[in-house]
Protein backbone atom coordinates (compact mmCIF):
# COMPACT_ATOMS: atom_id res chain seq x y z
CA UNK A 1 0.00 0.00 0.00
CA UNK A 2 1.58 3.16 -1.17
CA UNK A 3 0.89 6.77 -0.27
CA UNK A 4 -1.05 7.05 -3.50
CA UNK A 5 -3.37 4.25 -2.45
CA UNK A 6 -4.13 6.03 0.77
CA UNK A 7 -5.10 9.20 -1.04
CA UNK A 8 -7.32 7.28 -3.38
CA UNK A 9 -9.03 5.48 -0.57
CA UNK A 10 -9.24 8.53 1.65
CA UNK A 11 -13.02 8.98 1.39
CA UNK A 12 -13.61 5.34 2.25
CA UNK A 13 -11.08 5.47 5.06
CA UNK A 14 -12.70 8.54 6.52
CA UNK A 15 -16.20 7.17 6.36
CA UNK A 16 -15.20 3.84 7.90
CA UNK A 17 -13.28 5.49 10.75
CA UNK A 18 -16.17 7.88 11.26
CA UNK A 19 -18.71 5.07 11.27
CA UNK A 20 -16.62 3.20 13.86
CA UNK A 21 -16.49 6.30 16.03
CA UNK A 22 -20.26 6.60 15.82
CA UNK A 23 -20.42 3.06 17.14
CA UNK A 24 -18.21 3.93 20.09
CA UNK A 25 -20.10 7.08 21.04
CA UNK A 26 -22.89 5.40 23.04
CA UNK A 27 -20.30 3.43 24.99
CA UNK A 28 -18.69 6.62 26.28
CA UNK A 29 -22.03 7.79 27.60
CA UNK A 30 -23.54 9.71 24.72
CA UNK A 31 -26.26 7.17 24.24
CA UNK A 32 -29.19 9.52 24.57
CA UNK A 33 -27.77 12.43 22.65
CA UNK A 34 -29.91 12.03 19.57
CA UNK A 35 -29.25 15.42 18.09
CA UNK A 36 -25.50 15.12 18.35
CA UNK A 37 -25.74 11.76 16.61
CA UNK A 38 -27.51 13.34 13.69
CA UNK A 39 -25.08 16.21 13.47
CA UNK A 40 -22.04 13.93 13.79
CA UNK A 41 -23.38 11.88 10.93
CA UNK A 42 -24.04 14.94 8.77
CA UNK A 43 -20.61 16.39 9.49
CA UNK A 44 -19.01 13.05 8.70
CA UNK A 45 -20.88 12.92 5.39
CA UNK A 46 -19.87 16.48 4.65
CA UNK A 47 -16.20 15.71 5.22
CA UNK A 48 -16.47 12.60 3.08
CA UNK A 49 -18.11 14.54 0.26
CA UNK A 50 -15.39 17.17 0.41
CA UNK A 51 -12.72 14.48 0.31
CA UNK A 52 -14.35 12.90 -2.73
CA UNK A 53 -14.40 16.26 -4.47
CA UNK A 54 -10.78 16.84 -3.43
CA UNK A 55 -9.82 13.43 -4.82
CA UNK A 56 -11.60 14.19 -8.05
CA UNK A 57 -9.33 17.22 -8.48
CA UNK A 58 -6.34 15.06 -7.61
CA UNK A 59 -7.10 12.66 -10.44
CA UNK A 60 -8.18 15.32 -12.89
CA UNK A 61 -6.57 14.93 -16.25
CA UNK A 62 -5.65 11.33 -15.65
CA UNK A 63 -7.99 9.19 -17.77
CA UNK A 64 -8.37 6.62 -15.09
CA UNK A 65 -6.43 6.26 -11.91
CA UNK A 66 -6.20 2.88 -10.36
CA UNK A 67 -4.65 1.67 -7.19
CA UNK A 68 -4.48 -1.42 -4.99
CA UNK A 69 -2.98 -3.39 -7.84
CA UNK A 70 -5.65 -2.28 -10.27
CA UNK A 71 -8.55 -3.32 -8.06
CA UNK A 72 -9.73 0.14 -7.23
CA UNK A 73 -10.41 2.95 -9.65
CA UNK A 74 -11.19 6.57 -9.15
CA UNK A 75 -12.74 7.65 -12.42
CA UNK A 76 -15.48 10.11 -13.29
CA UNK A 77 -18.06 7.35 -13.16
CA UNK A 78 -17.12 6.41 -9.61
CA UNK A 79 -17.00 10.01 -8.42
CA UNK A 80 -20.40 10.76 -9.97
CA UNK A 81 -21.99 7.87 -8.13
CA UNK A 82 -20.11 8.45 -4.89
CA UNK A 83 -21.52 11.94 -4.71
CA UNK A 84 -25.02 10.64 -5.39
CA UNK A 85 -24.61 8.08 -2.59
CA UNK A 86 -23.35 10.63 -0.08
CA UNK A 87 -26.15 13.07 -0.89
CA UNK A 88 -28.73 10.31 -0.68
CA UNK A 89 -27.40 9.06 2.66
CA UNK A 90 -27.36 12.63 4.00
CA UNK A 91 -31.00 12.98 3.01
CA UNK A 92 -31.85 9.64 4.57
CA UNK A 93 -30.18 10.84 7.76
CA UNK A 94 -32.48 13.84 7.73
CA UNK A 95 -35.47 11.63 7.02
CA UNK A 96 -34.58 9.32 9.89
CA UNK A 97 -34.30 12.00 12.54
CA UNK A 98 -37.91 12.27 13.66
CA UNK A 99 -38.62 8.68 12.93
CA UNK A 100 -35.93 7.55 15.35
CA UNK A 101 -36.87 10.11 17.96
CA UNK A 102 -40.10 8.25 18.51
CA UNK A 103 -38.43 4.88 18.92
CA UNK A 104 -36.33 3.46 21.70
CA UNK A 105 -33.46 2.23 19.65
CA UNK A 106 -29.93 3.55 19.65
CA UNK A 107 -29.55 6.10 16.92
CA UNK A 108 -25.76 5.91 17.01
CA UNK A 109 -25.80 2.31 15.83
CA UNK A 110 -28.29 3.21 13.16
CA UNK A 111 -26.15 5.97 11.73
CA UNK A 112 -23.05 3.88 12.08
CA UNK A 113 -24.64 1.13 10.00
CA UNK A 114 -25.70 3.67 7.39
CA UNK A 115 -22.09 4.85 7.34
CA UNK A 116 -20.79 1.35 6.75
CA UNK A 117 -23.33 0.78 4.03
CA UNK A 118 -22.16 3.98 2.40
CA UNK A 119 -18.56 2.83 2.69
CA UNK A 120 -19.50 -0.41 0.96
CA UNK A 121 -21.29 1.39 -1.85
CA UNK A 122 -18.45 3.80 -2.40
CA UNK A 123 -15.91 1.01 -2.47
CA UNK A 124 -18.05 -1.07 -4.76
CA UNK A 125 -18.60 1.59 -7.39
CA UNK A 126 -14.85 2.04 -7.63
CA UNK A 127 -14.26 -1.67 -7.97
CA UNK A 128 -12.27 -2.73 -10.99
CA UNK A 129 -12.11 -6.32 -9.98
CA UNK A 130 -15.00 -8.66 -9.37
CA UNK A 131 -13.66 -9.43 -5.93
CA UNK A 132 -13.46 -5.82 -4.77
CA UNK A 133 -16.94 -5.24 -6.12
CA UNK A 134 -18.12 -8.27 -4.21
CA UNK A 135 -16.57 -7.06 -0.97
CA UNK A 136 -18.18 -3.67 -1.30
CA UNK A 137 -21.50 -5.25 -2.18
CA UNK A 138 -21.42 -7.48 0.87
CA UNK A 139 -20.52 -4.63 3.20
CA UNK A 140 -23.49 -2.73 1.86
CA UNK A 141 -25.83 -5.73 1.95
CA UNK A 142 -24.94 -6.84 5.48
CA UNK A 143 -25.50 -3.35 6.80
CA UNK A 144 -28.84 -3.14 5.03
CA UNK A 145 -29.99 -6.51 6.40
CA UNK A 146 -29.48 -5.20 9.92
CA UNK A 147 -31.04 -1.85 9.10
CA UNK A 148 -34.12 -3.51 7.61
CA UNK A 149 -34.66 -5.25 10.93
CA UNK A 150 -33.53 -2.37 13.04
CA UNK A 151 -36.85 -2.05 14.86
CA UNK A 152 -36.33 -5.43 16.35
CA UNK A 153 -39.47 -5.42 18.47
CA UNK A 154 -41.71 -4.97 15.50
CA UNK A 155 -42.82 -8.12 13.86
CA UNK A 156 -43.04 -6.71 10.34
CA UNK A 157 -39.57 -5.25 10.49
CA UNK A 158 -38.01 -8.46 11.77
CA UNK A 159 -39.82 -10.53 9.19
CA UNK A 160 -38.64 -8.21 6.46
CA UNK A 161 -35.06 -8.43 7.65
CA UNK A 162 -35.22 -12.20 7.79
CA UNK A 163 -36.56 -12.51 4.26
CA UNK A 164 -34.10 -10.00 2.98
CA UNK A 165 -31.20 -11.72 4.67
CA UNK A 166 -32.02 -15.25 3.51
CA UNK A 167 -32.71 -14.29 -0.08
CA UNK A 168 -29.83 -11.84 -0.13
CA UNK A 169 -27.42 -14.43 1.15
CA UNK A 170 -28.53 -16.92 -1.50
CA UNK A 171 -28.16 -14.34 -4.21
CA UNK A 172 -24.70 -13.42 -2.98
CA UNK A 173 -23.80 -17.07 -3.21
CA UNK A 174 -25.09 -17.24 -6.76
CA UNK A 175 -23.16 -14.11 -7.63
CA UNK A 176 -20.01 -15.54 -6.16
CA UNK A 177 -20.46 -18.79 -8.06
CA UNK A 178 -20.84 -16.82 -11.26
CA UNK A 179 -17.70 -14.87 -10.47
CA UNK A 180 -15.77 -18.07 -9.85
CA UNK A 181 -16.87 -19.56 -13.18
CA UNK A 182 -15.87 -16.41 -15.03
CA UNK A 183 -12.54 -16.51 -13.24
CA UNK A 184 -12.13 -20.11 -14.28
CA UNK A 185 -12.62 -19.26 -17.95
CA UNK A 186 -10.83 -15.94 -18.13
CA UNK A 187 -8.11 -16.46 -15.58
CA UNK A 188 -8.57 -13.07 -14.04
CA UNK A 189 -10.92 -11.13 -11.85
CA UNK A 190 -9.96 -7.77 -13.21
CA UNK A 191 -12.70 -6.30 -15.35
CA UNK A 192 -10.34 -5.08 -18.03
CA UNK A 193 -8.52 -8.41 -18.22
CA UNK A 194 -11.82 -10.23 -18.44
CA UNK A 195 -12.85 -7.93 -21.25
CA UNK A 196 -9.59 -8.60 -23.04
CA UNK A 197 -9.82 -12.34 -22.52
CA UNK A 198 -13.41 -12.47 -23.72
CA UNK A 199 -12.57 -10.72 -26.95
CA UNK A 200 -10.39 -13.68 -27.90
CA UNK A 201 -12.44 -16.65 -26.71
CA UNK A 202 -15.55 -18.04 -28.27
CA UNK A 203 -18.65 -18.71 -26.24
CA UNK A 204 -18.57 -21.76 -24.05
CA UNK A 205 -21.06 -23.19 -21.62
CA UNK A 206 -19.10 -22.51 -18.46
CA UNK A 207 -18.66 -18.89 -19.39
CA UNK A 208 -22.31 -18.42 -20.35
CA UNK A 209 -23.37 -20.10 -17.14
CA UNK A 210 -21.05 -17.83 -15.21
CA UNK A 211 -22.39 -14.70 -16.89
CA UNK A 212 -25.95 -15.85 -16.27
CA UNK A 213 -25.27 -16.44 -12.57
CA UNK A 214 -23.51 -13.12 -12.27
CA UNK A 215 -26.44 -11.43 -13.99
CA UNK A 216 -28.91 -13.22 -11.75
CA UNK A 217 -27.08 -12.08 -8.64
CA UNK A 218 -27.01 -8.50 -9.85
CA UNK A 219 -30.66 -8.64 -10.91
CA UNK A 220 -31.50 -9.66 -7.36
CA UNK A 221 -29.78 -6.56 -6.07
CA UNK A 222 -31.63 -4.23 -8.43
CA UNK A 223 -34.86 -6.22 -7.88
CA UNK A 224 -35.63 -7.19 -11.46
CA UNK A 225 -38.21 -9.85 -12.29
CA UNK A 226 -37.96 -12.82 -11.63
CA UNK A 227 -35.61 -12.00 -8.75
CA UNK A 228 -37.91 -9.42 -7.24
CA UNK A 229 -40.11 -11.35 -4.81
CA UNK A 230 -38.38 -10.00 -1.73
CA UNK A 231 -38.93 -6.36 -2.66
CA UNK A 232 -42.56 -5.64 -1.68
CA UNK A 233 -42.32 -7.43 1.65
CA UNK A 234 -39.01 -5.90 2.62
CA UNK A 235 -40.01 -2.42 1.53
CA UNK A 236 -43.24 -2.70 3.44
CA UNK A 237 -41.74 -4.11 6.60
CA UNK A 238 -38.57 -2.06 6.92
CA UNK A 239 -38.67 1.25 8.78
CA UNK A 240 -39.69 3.89 6.23
CA UNK A 241 -36.34 5.74 6.11
CA UNK A 242 -34.65 2.40 5.50
CA UNK A 243 -37.12 1.65 2.74
CA UNK A 244 -36.06 4.98 1.30
CA UNK A 245 -32.45 3.87 1.59
CA UNK A 246 -33.12 0.52 -0.07
CA UNK A 247 -35.09 2.02 -2.92
CA UNK A 248 -32.65 4.83 -3.68
CA UNK A 249 -29.03 4.62 -2.56
CA UNK A 250 -28.80 0.86 -2.45
CA UNK A 251 -30.48 0.51 -5.81
CA UNK A 252 -28.34 3.20 -7.37
CA UNK A 253 -25.26 1.33 -6.17
CA UNK A 254 -26.49 -1.87 -7.77
CA UNK A 255 -27.18 -0.05 -11.06
CA UNK A 256 -23.70 1.42 -11.01
CA UNK A 257 -21.88 -1.87 -10.74
CA UNK A 258 -24.25 -3.50 -13.19
CA UNK A 259 -23.23 -0.88 -15.71
CA UNK A 260 -19.55 -1.07 -14.82
CA UNK A 261 -19.31 -4.84 -15.11
CA UNK A 262 -21.33 -5.18 -18.29
CA UNK A 263 -19.83 -2.21 -20.08
CA UNK A 264 -16.24 -2.93 -19.12
CA UNK A 265 -15.98 -6.68 -18.99
CA UNK A 266 -18.80 -8.24 -20.94
CA UNK A 267 -19.38 -5.92 -23.88
CA UNK A 268 -18.13 -8.42 -26.40
CA UNK A 269 -20.82 -10.88 -25.47
CA UNK A 270 -23.73 -8.50 -25.86
CA UNK A 271 -25.38 -10.73 -28.44
CA UNK A 272 -25.48 -13.53 -25.89
CA UNK A 273 -26.76 -11.73 -22.82
CA UNK A 274 -28.54 -8.87 -24.55
CA UNK A 275 -31.73 -10.74 -25.30
CA UNK A 276 -31.82 -12.41 -21.90
CA UNK A 277 -31.53 -9.08 -20.13
CA UNK A 278 -34.03 -7.59 -22.57
CA UNK A 279 -36.54 -10.24 -21.50
CA UNK A 280 -35.82 -9.56 -17.84
CA UNK A 281 -36.23 -5.86 -18.46
CA UNK A 282 -39.53 -6.38 -20.28
CA UNK A 283 -40.85 -8.66 -17.52
CA UNK A 284 -39.83 -6.17 -14.83
CA UNK A 285 -41.56 -3.30 -16.54
CA UNK A 286 -44.75 -5.23 -17.20
CA UNK A 287 -45.02 -7.05 -13.90
CA UNK A 288 -43.82 -4.16 -11.77
CA UNK A 289 -46.23 -1.68 -13.27
CA UNK A 290 -49.22 -4.00 -13.44
CA UNK A 291 -48.76 -5.23 -9.89
CA UNK A 292 -48.36 -1.69 -8.59
CA UNK A 293 -51.81 -0.75 -9.88
CA UNK A 294 -53.58 -2.97 -7.38
CA UNK A 295 -51.62 -1.94 -4.30
CA UNK A 296 -53.30 0.05 -1.56
CA UNK A 297 -50.18 0.36 0.53
CA UNK A 298 -47.94 3.14 -0.67
CA UNK A 299 -44.77 1.34 0.33
CA UNK A 300 -45.75 -1.73 -1.60
CA UNK A 301 -46.82 0.39 -4.55
CA UNK A 302 -43.47 2.11 -4.60
CA UNK A 303 -41.77 -1.25 -4.23
CA UNK A 304 -43.45 -2.52 -7.38
CA UNK A 305 -42.75 0.76 -9.10
CA UNK A 306 -39.09 0.36 -8.19
CA UNK A 307 -39.16 -3.06 -9.82
CA UNK A 308 -40.46 -1.40 -12.97
CA UNK A 309 -37.76 1.23 -12.75
CA UNK A 310 -35.13 -1.49 -12.55
CA UNK A 311 -36.54 -2.66 -15.87
CA UNK A 312 -36.12 0.81 -17.36
CA UNK A 313 -32.58 1.15 -16.07
CA UNK A 314 -31.73 -2.20 -17.66
CA UNK A 315 -32.53 -0.63 -21.05
CA UNK A 316 -29.43 1.47 -20.60
CA UNK A 317 -27.30 -1.58 -19.94
CA UNK A 318 -28.71 -3.75 -22.71
CA UNK A 319 -28.33 -1.11 -25.38
CA UNK A 320 -24.60 -0.83 -24.73
CA UNK A 321 -24.12 2.55 -26.35
CA UNK A 322 -23.15 5.98 -25.23
CA UNK A 323 -26.75 7.09 -24.77
CA UNK A 324 -27.41 4.04 -22.65
CA UNK A 325 -24.42 4.50 -20.39
CA UNK A 326 -25.15 8.16 -19.86
CA UNK A 327 -28.79 7.17 -19.47
CA UNK A 328 -27.94 4.94 -16.52
CA UNK A 329 -26.11 7.80 -14.83
CA UNK A 330 -28.79 10.38 -15.50
CA UNK A 331 -31.68 8.09 -14.76
CA UNK A 332 -30.18 6.94 -11.49
CA UNK A 333 -29.71 10.48 -10.28
CA UNK A 334 -33.17 11.55 -11.35
CA UNK A 335 -34.77 8.46 -9.90
CA UNK A 336 -32.97 8.78 -6.57
CA UNK A 337 -34.06 12.37 -6.02
CA UNK A 338 -37.63 11.91 -7.15
CA UNK A 339 -37.93 8.90 -4.89
CA UNK A 340 -36.34 10.58 -1.88
CA UNK A 341 -38.77 13.44 -2.33
CA UNK A 342 -41.66 11.00 -2.30
CA UNK A 343 -40.37 9.31 0.84
CA UNK A 344 -40.00 12.67 2.54
CA UNK A 345 -43.63 13.42 1.76
CA UNK A 346 -44.71 9.98 2.94
CA UNK A 347 -42.89 10.61 6.21
CA UNK A 348 -44.66 13.93 6.62
CA UNK A 349 -47.86 11.93 6.94
CA UNK A 350 -46.41 9.56 9.46
CA UNK A 351 -48.13 10.23 12.74
CA UNK A 352 -49.32 6.96 14.10
CA UNK A 353 -47.72 3.58 13.92
CA UNK A 354 -48.17 2.90 10.21
CA UNK A 355 -49.80 6.14 9.10
CA UNK A 356 -48.98 7.47 5.66
CA UNK A 357 -48.68 4.01 4.29
CA UNK A 358 -52.05 3.67 2.72
CA UNK A 359 -53.12 5.58 -0.36
CA UNK A 360 -56.11 6.85 1.61
CA UNK A 361 -53.83 8.58 4.07
CA UNK A 362 -52.97 11.06 1.34
CA UNK A 363 -56.55 12.25 1.11
CA UNK A 364 -56.85 15.96 1.48
CA UNK A 365 -53.10 16.62 1.58
CA UNK A 366 -53.59 19.39 -0.96
CA UNK A 367 -55.63 21.35 1.58
CA UNK A 368 -53.50 20.54 4.60
CA UNK A 369 -50.12 21.17 2.97
CA UNK A 370 -50.63 22.58 -0.52
CA UNK A 371 -46.98 23.14 -1.27
CA UNK A 372 -45.86 19.65 -0.36
CA UNK A 373 -48.78 18.15 -2.22
CA UNK A 374 -47.60 20.07 -5.26
CA UNK A 375 -44.07 18.80 -4.68
CA UNK A 376 -45.41 15.27 -4.51
CA UNK A 377 -47.16 15.73 -7.86
CA UNK A 378 -43.87 16.85 -9.39
CA UNK A 379 -42.05 13.82 -7.97
CA UNK A 380 -44.72 11.48 -9.27
CA UNK A 381 -44.67 13.09 -12.70
CA UNK A 382 -40.91 12.74 -12.68
CA UNK A 383 -41.15 9.03 -11.93
CA UNK A 384 -43.70 8.75 -14.71
CA UNK A 385 -41.38 10.56 -17.09
CA UNK A 386 -43.62 13.52 -17.91
CA UNK A 387 -41.86 16.71 -19.01
CA UNK A 388 -40.84 19.25 -17.84
CA UNK A 389 -39.56 17.18 -14.92
CA UNK A 390 -36.13 15.58 -14.77
CA UNK A 391 -37.66 12.12 -15.07
CA UNK A 392 -38.42 12.82 -18.70
CA UNK A 393 -34.77 13.50 -19.48
CA UNK A 394 -33.77 10.24 -17.83
CA UNK A 395 -36.37 8.24 -19.69
CA UNK A 396 -35.57 10.04 -22.90
CA UNK A 397 -31.99 8.79 -22.74
CA UNK A 398 -32.99 5.23 -22.01
CA UNK A 399 -35.66 5.05 -24.73
CA UNK A 400 -33.36 6.69 -27.24
CA UNK A 401 -30.61 4.24 -26.32
CA UNK A 402 -32.94 1.29 -26.82
CA UNK A 403 -34.03 2.53 -30.24
CA UNK A 404 -30.50 3.25 -31.32
CA UNK A 405 -29.48 -0.23 -30.28
CA UNK A 406 -32.29 -1.71 -32.36
CA UNK A 407 -34.45 -2.84 -29.45
CA UNK A 408 -37.53 -1.23 -30.96
CA UNK A 409 -40.02 -3.67 -29.42
CA UNK A 410 -38.55 -3.10 -25.99
CA UNK A 411 -38.77 0.66 -26.44
CA UNK A 412 -42.43 0.43 -27.46
CA UNK A 413 -43.16 -1.74 -24.43
CA UNK A 414 -41.23 0.63 -22.19
CA UNK A 415 -43.10 3.76 -23.27
CA UNK A 416 -46.47 2.05 -23.03
CA UNK A 417 -45.60 0.78 -19.58
CA UNK A 418 -44.57 4.23 -18.49
CA UNK A 419 -48.03 5.40 -19.55
CA UNK A 420 -49.49 2.57 -17.46
CA UNK A 421 -47.36 3.63 -14.53
CA UNK A 422 -49.01 7.04 -14.56
CA UNK A 423 -52.23 5.25 -13.67
CA UNK A 424 -51.08 4.34 -10.19
CA UNK A 425 -49.04 7.48 -9.66
CA UNK A 426 -52.21 9.38 -10.41
CA UNK A 427 -54.01 7.42 -7.71
CA UNK A 428 -51.95 9.33 -5.19
CA UNK A 429 -52.70 12.59 -6.99
CA UNK A 430 -56.39 11.74 -6.96
CA UNK A 431 -56.21 11.09 -3.23
CA UNK A 432 -54.38 14.33 -2.57
CA UNK A 433 -56.37 16.65 -4.80
CA UNK A 434 -59.57 15.18 -6.07
CA UNK A 435 -61.11 13.54 -3.04
CA UNK A 436 -63.19 15.68 -0.80
CA UNK A 437 -63.80 15.48 2.88
CA UNK A 438 -60.91 14.13 4.83
CA UNK A 439 -58.01 16.13 6.07
CA UNK A 440 -54.65 14.44 5.87
CA UNK A 441 -52.83 14.01 9.15
CA UNK A 442 -49.46 15.64 8.81
CA UNK A 443 -46.37 16.30 10.89
CA UNK A 444 -44.16 18.50 8.76
CA UNK A 445 -40.77 18.99 10.34
CA UNK A 446 -37.74 20.99 9.27
CA UNK A 447 -35.53 18.12 8.10
CA UNK A 448 -38.30 16.63 5.98
CA UNK A 449 -38.92 20.02 4.40
CA UNK A 450 -35.24 20.41 3.59
CA UNK A 451 -35.16 17.03 1.85
CA UNK A 452 -38.39 17.53 -0.06
CA UNK A 453 -37.47 21.06 -1.11
CA UNK A 454 -34.00 20.03 -2.30
CA UNK A 455 -35.43 17.15 -4.29
CA UNK A 456 -38.08 19.43 -5.76
CA UNK A 457 -35.54 21.98 -6.89
CA UNK A 458 -33.33 19.31 -8.42
CA UNK A 459 -36.24 17.59 -10.17
CA UNK A 460 -37.63 20.78 -11.66
CA UNK A 461 -34.38 22.51 -12.52
CA UNK A 462 -32.85 19.51 -14.23
CA UNK A 463 -36.10 19.00 -16.08
CA UNK A 464 -36.15 22.50 -17.49
CA UNK A 465 -32.42 22.93 -17.99
CA UNK A 466 -30.78 19.50 -18.09
CA UNK A 467 -27.60 20.57 -19.87
CA UNK A 468 -25.32 20.55 -16.78
CA UNK A 469 -26.43 17.06 -15.84
CA UNK A 470 -26.04 15.73 -19.37
CA UNK A 471 -22.61 17.29 -19.75
CA UNK A 472 -21.53 15.90 -16.41
CA UNK A 473 -22.80 12.46 -17.32
CA UNK A 474 -20.99 12.62 -20.66
CA UNK A 475 -17.79 13.60 -18.92
CA UNK A 476 -18.15 11.01 -16.18
CA UNK A 477 -18.85 8.15 -18.53
CA UNK A 478 -16.15 9.02 -21.02
CA UNK A 479 -13.52 6.58 -19.78
CA UNK A 480 -15.80 3.59 -19.51
CA UNK A 481 -17.43 4.47 -22.79
CA UNK A 482 -14.08 4.53 -24.54
CA UNK A 483 -13.17 1.15 -23.04
CA UNK A 484 -16.38 -0.42 -24.20
CA UNK A 485 -15.56 0.89 -27.68
CA UNK A 486 -18.59 3.12 -27.72
CA UNK A 487 -18.06 6.23 -29.74
CA UNK A 488 -19.09 9.10 -27.50
CA UNK A 489 -20.48 11.99 -29.47
CA UNK A 490 -18.49 14.57 -27.64
CA UNK A 491 -19.27 18.21 -28.12
CA UNK A 492 -22.49 17.56 -29.92
Neighbours of 235 (CB within 10 A): 28
Which span (142-150, 289-297, 398-406, 438-446) binds another protein, by CB under 8 A? 398-406
CA–CA separation, 400 and 410 (whole Å):
11
Stretch that binds another protein, among 108-116, 286-294, 356-364, 470-478 (CB under 8 A): 470-478
Distance CA 19, CA 44 (A): 8
Q: Does 26 bind another protein (CB under 8 A)?
A: no
Nearer to another protein, 210 or 463 (CB): 463
Q: Cα separation of 266 and 31, whole Å? A: 48
Closest distance to another protein from the beta carbon of 267 (Å):
15
Residue 247 and residue 313 in contact, taking contact as beta carbons nearer than 8 Å: no
For another protein, the closer of residues 104 and 489 by Cβ is 489
Q: Are 134 and 179 in contact (CB under 8 A)?
A: yes
- Residue 461 makes contact with another protein by CB under 8 A: no
- Closer to another protein by CB, 55 or 328: give it: 328
Q: Which is nearer to another protein, 94 or 365 (CB)?
A: 365
DSSP string, 102-150: TS-S-HHHHHHHHHHHHHHHHHHHTB-BHHHHHHHHHHHHHHHHHHHT-
The answer to whether 104 contacts another protein (rule: CB under 8 A) is no
Report the candidate in 304, 483, 333, 478 with the shortest Cα–Cα distance to residue 397.
Answer: 333
Q: Which of these segments, 28-36, 191-199, 208-216, 407-415, binds another protein (CB under 8 A)?
A: 407-415
Task: Considering the complex, state which of residue 139 and residue 400 has its C-beta at the smaller distance from another protein.
Answer: 400
> How is residue 434 annotated by DSSP?
I
Shorter beta-carbon distance to another protein: residue 360 or 471: 471
DSSP state of 187: S
| CB 415, min distance to another protein, A | 4
Counting contacts by CB under 8 A, is residue 247 touching another protein?
Answer: no
Pairing of strands 65-67, 72-74: antiparallel
Which residues contact residue 163 at a Cβ distance below 8 angstroms, ignoring those fewer than 6 apart? Answer: 230, 233, 234, 237
Instruction: Say whether residue 305 binds another protein (CB under 8 A).
Output: no
| 466 forms part of the interface with another protein (CB under 8 A) | yes
Which range binds another protein by CB under 8 A, 68-76, 205-213, 232-240, 427-435? 427-435
- Does position 408 bind another protein by CB under 8 A? yes
- In angstroms, give the least distance from the CB of 443 to another protein: 24
Q: C-beta of 392: minimal distance to another protein in Å?
A: 8
Give the distance between the most distant pair of CA atoms in the chain. 68
Q: Which of residues 76-95 bind another protein (CB under 8 A)?
A: none
Nearer to another protein, 42 or 422 (CB): 422
**Segment interacting with another protein (CB under 8 A) among 6-14, 87-95, 307-315, 418-426:** 418-426
430 binds another protein per the rule CB under 8 A: yes
Over the range 107-121, which residues count as b (16 or more CB within 10 Å of their CB) and which as e?
Answer: bbbbbbbbbbbbbbb
Helices 155-186 and 230-237 pack at an angle, to 10 degrees, of: 140
CA 70 from centroid of its chain's CA atoms: 25
Minimum distance from residue 489 beta carbon to another protein (Å):
7
- Tell me the window of 23-31, 123-131, 301-309, 465-473 that interacts with another protein (CB under 8 A): 465-473
426 lies in the site for another protein, by CB under 8 A: yes
Using the rule CB under 8 A, which residue among 21, 403, 450, 460 binds another protein? 403
**Binding of residue 406 to another protein (CB under 8 A):** yes
- Residue 197 CA to chain centroid, in angstroms? 30
Q: How far is 329 from 394, CA to CA, in rounded Å?
A: 9
Binding mask 375-394 for another protein (x = CB under 8 A): --x---x----xxx---x--
Q: Does 419 bind another protein (CB under 8 A)?
A: yes
Backbone phi, psi, residue 72, to 5°: -130, 125
Q: From the CB of 265, what's the least distance to another protein, in Å?
A: 22
Residues 236 and 302: their CA atoms lie apart, in Å, by: 9
For residue 403, the minimal CB distance to another protein (Å) is 5
The Cβ of residue 271 has, within 10 Å, a number of other Cβ atoms equal to 8
CA distance 73 to 136: 13
Shortest spacing between CB 319 and another protein, in angstroms: 10
Name the site residues for another protein (rule: CB under 8 A): 377, 381, 386-388, 392, 396, 399-400, 403-406, 408, 411-412, 415-416, 418-420, 422-423, 426, 430, 433-434, 465-467, 470-471, 474, 489, 492
Amino acid sequence: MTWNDVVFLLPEIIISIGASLLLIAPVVGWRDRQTSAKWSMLILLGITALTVIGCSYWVQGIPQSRSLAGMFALDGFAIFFKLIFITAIAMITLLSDDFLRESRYSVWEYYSLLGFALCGMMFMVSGMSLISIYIGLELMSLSSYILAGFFKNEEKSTEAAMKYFVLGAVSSGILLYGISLIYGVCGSLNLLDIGKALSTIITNDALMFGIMLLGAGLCFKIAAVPFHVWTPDVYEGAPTPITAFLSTASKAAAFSIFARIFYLALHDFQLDWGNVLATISALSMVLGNLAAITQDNVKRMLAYSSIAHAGYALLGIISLNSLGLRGVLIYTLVYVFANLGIWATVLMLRRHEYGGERVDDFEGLSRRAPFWAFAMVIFLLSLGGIPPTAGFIGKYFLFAAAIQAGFGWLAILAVLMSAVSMFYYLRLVVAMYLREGREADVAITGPLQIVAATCLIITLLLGIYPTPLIDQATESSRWIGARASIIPHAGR
